[in-house]
Amino acid sequence: MNLGEYKGHSAVIEFDAEDEIFVGHVADIADLIGFHADTLAEAETAFREAVDDYLEILAKAAG
């Protein structure tokens, strides 16, 4: 399942039936950025937060 794009990044998400949660990762980067949530709406929020955090880390690393 694809959550669409956010700030130029996309995510792939799957439902983990055993744990009954949505698990995803940012799909278009070399780094591994993952997230999870109880609902699909929460997964979209977690994806956006993960992208924001990632971009913040990159900005700090750049100086």
- Provide the residue range defining the domain that includes 24: 2-62
CA angle 44, 49, 54 (to 5 degrees): 125
Q: Which residues pair with 37 in a beta bridge?
A: 22
- pLDDT at position 34 is 95
Residue with tokens 């994806």: 47
Per-residue pLDDT tens digits of the chain, which is 63 residues long: 777 899 999 999 999 999 999 999 999 899 999 999 999 999 999 999 999 999 999 999 998
- pLDDT at position 43 is 96
- pLDDT at position 42 is 96
Q: Domain total for the chain?
A: 1
- pLDDT at position 35 is 97
pTM of the predicted model over 0.85: yes
26 near 46, Cβ under 8 Å? no
